[in-house]
Chains A and B, each alone.
Chain A
């Protein structure tokens, strides 16, 4: 596929608020990104505005506070999507098209059952949840991520293994938890761990480098097939160097650390 033919659906409802930068991030790597309201995908819009999910090549869930997050983060949006668009989303994932959820988007993917999805593409009930940060507070701060994926995740295909990226976090609920006692081990066994929080020197993170207390410092995971990625930090906020928090202290490239994730998707689709 040529980059300009790649159509990205950036899905929004009331309360999503990172859709502009998500669309810009995909546009920055040459794709054609469109912000699409859920209502446009489920026939609740005037005919000229209606869209069909199957016409897109990538599906992106941006950050925000979908429907206010007054229940569990992501829960309301996920319930609305599942009820109205569930089969289409499942088909989209089964067609091995890339799906990314960032921050609230990650929370939505977990609530939808698309992550971790140990059994099947989309579990009926969520099997994990993103809990309130250990600090009990919203945390907006730089975090350093290490690519811990062994090759399954298509979103890190262009990122060297163990490479660290500085990608900021901004959330109140980012601690990935599951009632499954072997949760982390199963993720490891399936090569579903994608990013871990680390210190800038690559060593194990503690607070604030792990801003939420997530077990095993997990910041992002993919599904067993590797085409669905959910992560708490915001790569779409660091597409060039000048939105990094410390760029005035020196830099080698004007490219931002988040761009390689979007480039990986494009490289993957180029090979299709």
Chain B
């Protein structure tokens, strides 16, 4: 190497690296050799900084910059777009926008929400990647002082119902799905937090790069809401929990580059190892020191490990930090200082406290058998300095270190799909088409996974992920928790995302994700209150990928803004590209949260009685673009469903009013497969047939009415005696569709009959058969 790397004469492993005279070429090579993931421009900025400081950097300093300036940590490509469309979204119900967002729950409590991705680790090591994803998201909620109360895991894989060509180094979708579900199960169940909702999305475009998004909800007494930064200079930083090892080194850099054919061998070390049984006491002890107000702030160690957490906790408090790096407890001897500084070993938290409280804080952690070690002090000057047994090995300006570059990268706006060139597929037999859609893995029962997750632990799950008669259940919409024992107020949570809409029209796809989350929440009787978003996209250095990102973010940002609802937390995952440059579907994953004052008014999707009136709420339009019918039967192009936010608001208000008056017996969101699949699902979960006729609905083609996936629609069951009051509230926004009757779905428009038992079989069995059948 031309950049001279000289090992310092010290009883530990440290190199000084002369870069002040290095050429661009040398800098690029240095970045690659040290796995820094930094560009020539960024390396030049660093060279100039150290030239100004009048010395060369150490390896610890360069590694820290590689972490802090990664896409994962500093959002250098996405920040300008997020700033334009999402960051400003706020309302007076937001209590905090820390590591997790916190919203008002009631006068005494707040609820926390956050979603993030663990995509690349899960693609290499599905079990460990998913498990540590759960661990990380739990810590984000815990460090707000909030007790985690529910997990939600939307997952995207390649097709599981047919053989696919696997690019070199790519694991089979079934193997990945099995490993990811096991990882979520073992971590979530062991730590005792219910997994209450989620989603599965299957498409060829996810074959080379699966998505594992993990979300967590929490509850916190408002007086115990914690900060994620120190109280000021002169405080002590205490490292809590697991020991530090070589697992998870360069995790953020791994997350900030495309996957390659050799990611498995190259990046295995970037995947951390989880320990849920350490997490449990860590949580208890953190809550105790927080509730007793012994600490001033806490934050989890995630991407970038110590290198990120120390700087951020200090700088956000307007100070700096002096760290005694040799005090960090290690899993094994012999780690170099730079490895300790950037390791992403799991189950670690940092808290800050006044010096006089250190002993009491340590006593609490000791009681729970959780290691806790003071390793640093906050200082007045905004610099981070690292010492190893008193010898200085790192001394950097914090604003430079955490400032990071920001890029306005070029983007190319996509051409949205439209009615131009639309091909509506030939449907010979609607019965077969409906059964085929019900058994598509994107629609079919996910009971195989749901029942492996404990969705009832903590005894607060009011509306479960599956609904209907015991052990003969069908699909639900949102799940509902009762987070405060003894109170009837409920918190609803649901995923919204349609990556096929987002591919055909990213702007409308972004809006539709918000619309779907709202639909699911309203379907159980709750009012949408806040969103958290995980934005999974391809390589932002490719203009067309960044164009998709920009349009999707614009769509969801505008939708949330016009609803008057905040997005108090979120996460961006770029570079989701497989070997050979195959990119994923643009996937703006939304977790929506809603509130309901009395959970006893919750509604579920299963048909309850024979002889009820079935209505469709909302407008069905000729919007077949991205629909399940088109995807499955070779349709092309078509208008992607548009979300009209004022109309969505009006419909939600009307429907919630009808529910509050007790007029709605069951309600289901209308999405994949349109009205046909939504009604079929209500038959499946209720074990009751239906007769429907679309002729009372506006529109010409009955197949468009049956299968269009227009947004802002629900199917509801209403007692005949309540229909006139219901119609009065809905004020022209609801249309009669049919009645619950018999043991088949009869579509009177053309006499199609789909037997109930065939629908149940078609929907219930496919995923069991693929992933490993019932006992």
* Nearest B residue to A137, CB-CB: B452
Q: Do the beta carbons of B458 and A21 come within 8 Å of each other?
A: yes
The size of the chain A interface, using a CB distance under 8 A, is 49
Give the CA-CA distance A179 to B281 in the complex, in Å. 36
Query: Residue A141 at the B interface, CB < 8 A?
Result: yes
Give the CA-CA distance A134 to B773 in the complex, in Å. 12
Query: Pick the contact of A142 from B278, B450, B471, B485 — CB < 8 Å?
Result: B471
Contacts of B466 in A (CB 8 A): 245
Known: A68-B190, A138-B454, A144-B470. A243 touches B459 (CB 8 A): yes
Query: Residue A124 at the B interface, CB < 8 A?
Result: no
Q: Do the beta carbons of B467 and A49 come within 8 Å of each other?
A: no
Looking at the assembled complex, report how far the CB atom of A234 sits from the nearest CB atom of chain B, in whole angstroms: 7
Looking at the assembled complex, report how far the CB atom of B281 sits from the nearest CB atom of chain A, in whole angstroms: 5
Q: Do the beta carbons of B482 and A141 come within 8 Å of each other?
A: no
Contacts of A182 in B (CB 8 A): none
Query: Residue A249 at the B interface, CB < 8 A?
Result: yes
Query: Pick the contact of A248 from B369, B454, B603 — CB < 8 Å?
Result: B603
Give the CA-CA distance A245 to B466 in the complex, in Å. 8
CB-CB contacts of B26-64 with A at 8 A, as 1s and 0s? 000000000000000000000000000000000000000
Query: Residue A239 at the B interface, CB < 8 A?
Result: yes
Q: Do the beta carbons of B459 and A21 come within 8 Å of each other?
A: yes
CB-CB contacts of A222-242 with B at 8 A, as 1s and 0s? 000000000000101111001
Known: A15-B190, A138-B454. A248 touches B280 (CB 8 A): no
Query: Residue B599 at the A interface, CB < 8 A?
Result: yes
Q: Do the beta carbons of B451 and A139 come within 8 Å of each other?
A: yes
Contacts of B281 in A (CB 8 A): 14
Stretch at the interface among A145-153, A185-193, A207-215: A207-215
Query: Residue B189 at the A interface, CB < 8 A?
Result: yes
Query: Residue B276 at the A interface, CB < 8 A?
Result: yes
Contacts of A196 in B (CB 8 A): none
Query: Residue A93 at the B interface, CB < 8 A?
Result: no
Contacts of B608 in A (CB 8 A): 249-250
Query: Residue B367 at the A interface, CB < 8 A?
Result: yes
Query: Pick the contact of B459 from A37, A166, A239 — CB < 8 Å?
Result: A239
Contacts of A55 in B (CB 8 A): none
Contacts of A17 in B (CB 8 A): 190-192, 280, 457
Give the CA-CA distance A24 to B486 in the complex, in Å. 9
Give the CA-CA distance A133 to B451 in the complex, in Å. 13
* Nearest B residue to A247, CB-CB: B462
Give the CA-CA distance A239 to B456 in the complex, in Å. 13
Q: Do the beta carbons of A140 and B451 come within 8 Å of each other?
A: yes
Tell me which of A46, A170, A250 has the highest count of chain B C-beta atoms within 10 A of its own C-beta. A170
Known: A17-B191, A141-B451. A245 touches B600 (CB 8 A): no
Give the CA-CA distance A15 to B277 in the complex, in Å. 5
Tell me which of B192, B469, B485, B604 has the highest count of chain A C-beta atoms within 10 A of its own C-beta. B192
Query: Residue A98 at the B interface, CB < 8 A?
Result: no
Q: Do the beta carbons of A140 and B455 come within 8 Å of each other?
A: yes
Give the CA-CA distance A172 to B469 in the complex, in Å. 23
Query: Residue A168 at the B interface, CB < 8 A?
Result: yes
Query: Residue B338 at the A interface, CB < 8 A?
Result: no
Q: Do the beta carbons of B277 and A242 come within 8 Å of each other?
A: no
Q: Do the beta carbons of B189 and A65 come within 8 Å of each other?
A: yes
Q: Do the beta carbons of B452 and A243 come within 8 Å of each other?
A: no
Q: Do the beta carbons of A237 and B456 come within 8 Å of each other?
A: yes
Query: Residue A18 at the B interface, CB < 8 A?
Result: yes
Give the CA-CA distance A89 to B276 in the complex, in Å. 28
Contacts of B501 in A (CB 8 A): none
Query: Residue B625 at the A interface, CB < 8 A?
Result: no
* Nearest B residue to A62, CB-CB: B192
CB-CB contacts of B432-465 with A at 8 A, as 1s and 0s? 0000000000000000001111111111111110
* Nearest A residue to B469, CB-CB: A246
* Nearest A residue to B600, CB-CB: A242
Tell me which of B276, B459, B488 has the highest count of chain A C-beta atoms within 10 A of its own C-beta. B459
Looking at the assembled complex, report how far the CB atom of B595 sits from the nearest CB atom of chain A, in whole angstroms: 16
Looking at the assembled complex, report how far the CB atom of B670 sits from the nearest CB atom of chain A, in whole angstroms: 19
Q: Do the beta carbons of B369 and A14 come within 8 Å of each other?
A: yes
Chain B interface, >50% SS class: loop
Query: Residue B622 at the A interface, CB < 8 A?
Result: no
Query: Residue B606 at the A interface, CB < 8 A?
Result: yes
Query: Residue A86 at the B interface, CB < 8 A?
Result: no
Give the CA-CA distance A102 to B190 in the complex, in Å. 15
Q: Do the beta carbons of B456 and A138 come within 8 Å of each other?
A: no
Q: Do the beta carbons of A20 and B775 come within 8 Å of each other?
A: no
Looking at the assembled complex, report how far the CB atom of B483 sits from the nearest CB atom of chain A, in whole angstroms: 12
Q: Do the beta carbons of B470 and A46 come within 8 Å of each other?
A: no
Q: Do the beta carbons of B606 and A249 come within 8 Å of each other?
A: yes
* Nearest A residue to B462, CB-CB: A242
* Nearest B residue to A35, CB-CB: B284
Q: Do the beta carbons of B454 and A166 come within 8 Å of each other?
A: no
Q: Do the beta carbons of B775 and A236 come within 8 Å of each other?
A: no
Query: Residue A216 at the B interface, CB < 8 A?
Result: no
Q: Do the beta carbons of A67 and B277 come within 8 Å of each other?
A: yes
Query: Residue B363 at the A interface, CB < 8 A?
Result: yes
Query: Residue B185 at the A interface, CB < 8 A?
Result: yes
Q: Do the beta carbons of A245 and B280 come within 8 Å of each other?
A: no
Q: Do the beta carbons of A234 and B775 come within 8 Å of each other?
A: no
Query: Pick the contact of A243 from B461, B469, B603 — CB < 8 Å?
Result: B461
Contacts of A248 in B (CB 8 A): 463, 467, 602-604, 606
Tell me which of A17, A39, A208 has the highest count of chain B C-beta atoms within 10 A of its own C-beta. A17
Q: Do the beta carbons of B459 and A140 come within 8 Å of each other?
A: no
Query: Pick the contact of B363 from A46, A208, A236, A237 — CB < 8 Å?
Result: A46
Looking at the assembled complex, report how far the CB atom of A235 sits from the nearest CB atom of chain B, in whole angstroms: 10
Q: Do the beta carbons of B470 and A200 come within 8 Å of each other?
A: yes
Give the CA-CA distance A234 to B192 in the complex, in Å. 14
Contacts of B368 in A (CB 8 A): 14, 37
Q: Do the beta carbons of B452 and A242 come within 8 Å of each other?
A: no
Query: Pick the contact of A242 from B451, B454, B469, B482 — CB < 8 Å?
Result: B482
* Nearest B residue to A24, CB-CB: B485
Contacts of A243 in B (CB 8 A): 456, 459-462, 482
Query: Residue B292 at the A interface, CB < 8 A?
Result: no
* Nearest A residue to B192, CB-CB: A17
Residues of B in contact with A (beta carbons under 8 Å apart): 185, 189-192, 276-278, 280-281, 363, 367-369, 450-464, 466-471, 473, 482, 485, 488, 599-600, 602-604, 606, 608, 774-775
Known: A168-B456, A170-B454; 10 extra A-B contacts, CB below 8 A, are A65-B277, A69-B190, A138-B452, A138-B453, A144-B470, A166-B470, A208-B471, A234-B456, A239-B459, A248-B463
The 3 closest A-B pairs by CB, nearest first: A17-B192, A135-B775, A21-B459
23 A/B residue pairs, CB under 8 Å, sorted by A: A14-B278, A14-B369, A17-B192, A18-B192, A20-B485, A21-B458, A37-B367, A65-B190, A69-B190, A134-B775, A138-B189, A140-B456, A142-B470, A144-B470, A168-B456, A170-B456, A239-B459, A243-B459, A243-B462, A245-B470, A245-B473, A248-B602, A249-B468
